Amino acid sequence: MPLGTLDQAPPPFFKQGPSALSKLLVLGALALLLMVLDARLHWATPVRQTLAVALSPLQWLALQPLHAARWSGHYLGSLQAAQAEAALARAELVRQAERAAIVEHLAQENRELRDLLGMRARLPTAARGAQILHELADPYTQGVVIDLGQQDGVRPGSAVVDGFGVLGQVTRVRWASSEVRLLGDPQQAMAVVNTRTGQRSLAFGVPVAWNAPARIELRFEPADTQAMVGDVLTTSGIDGVYPAGLPVAEIDLVAASGPDGFAQVQARPLARIQHVLHVLVIDPVGLPAAASTPAAATAPGAAQPNPERPAP
């Protein structure tokens, strides 16, 4: 079929009515008219309110992803900030704890040093300040190691005291350290005197549990002993090792008769055995300075009485 014979008009299916320009002009004029009428008569206000109420659930639902994203970001930021603050607080707490421990340690050292200075002023013989290094590894022996030894003039048998009383006795001396047998050790014995009655006795250590406070007992006390709870025991000085008058213990138990027929008298040491840091090492009063020899310095036991000293 020749092209000139074809109908150039669009098929009825694609007919669009008025042109686009006509529609634009009509709709623009209608919109302008509606805006003027709304500005003058406010007739569209109820319509807008109704539409706003009807569309508010859709608006709320559409804003939820945005709110969720903001909340998540705020939560994560707050969580990180809280974790950072917690870490800083823990670090500051550790620093404060360390500082408090140092302050407490220094305060305890100051108290002990003041007490030691007061004790040293009352001593009739030479004394040296020492620091406790550690406890003995033997669980069956109550003892400690101090930082003074043969090079410092320490001799076996030297009494060791803190600011409150007798702590023990040096039993072994090395070049730069010494072992001290504590007062509560069962193998430790010393001569004491009751300051109230003047009665002299022998005090021995009492076996106790590993972490229990040290105790001593007075053996061979007669059943009618005059010792009473609260009496203070001091060194008698007759052994030629301990200076006389050093505080030793306070009696806290008196029983009329023990299992062996003697009175049972026990006392609590006045020295702070479990908490002391600094001590005084007192030279034995019965040994001259010339007795400090390498053989004597390495003796495992306490100092023996000087054979040249006359018997008391």
Tell me the DSSP string of the chain: --GGGS--SPPGGG---S-HHHHHHHHHHHHHHHHHHHHHH-TTHHHHHHHHHHHHHHHHHHHHHHHHHHHHHHHHHHHHHHHHHHHHHHHHHHHHHHHHHHHHHHHHHHHHHHHHHHHHHT-SS-EEEEEEEEE-S-TTS-EEEES--GGGT--TT-EEE-SSSEEEEEEEE-SS-EEEEETTSTT-EEEEEETTT--EEEEEE----TTSPP-EEEEEE-TT----TT-EEEE--TTSSSPTT-EEEEEEEEES--TTSSEEEEEEESS-TTT--EEEEEPPTTS-GGG--HHHHT-SSPPPPPTTSPP-
Which of 260 and 176 is assigned the larger pLDDT? 176
For the residues 169-197, what does the mean pLDDT come to?
90
Task: Provide the pLDDT for residue 130.
Answer: 87
Q: 141 Cβ partners below 8 Å, 6+ apart?
A: 181, 185, 187
Task: Provide the pLDDT for residue 286.
Answer: 62
Residue 169's nearest CA partner among 150, 153, 197, 190 is 190
Which of 50 and 114 is assigned the larger pLDDT? 50
CA distances from 254 to 197, 213, 251, 311 (A): 15, 18, 8, 33
Task: Provide the pLDDT for residue 61.
Answer: 86
- Give how far the C-alpha of residue 173 lies from the chain's centroid of Cα atoms, to the nearest Å: 33
**Residue 58: what residue type?**
L
Task: Provide the pLDDT for residue 145.
Answer: 92
For the residues 42-47, what does the mean pLDDT come to?
77
With contact defined as beta carbons under 8 Å apart, do 192 and 218 qualify?
A: yes
pLDDT, tens only, 197-249: 888 899 999 888 767 788 999 988 888 888 889 999 998 888 777 888 888 99
For 231, phi then psi, to 5°, come to -65, 145
- Give the pTM: 0.54
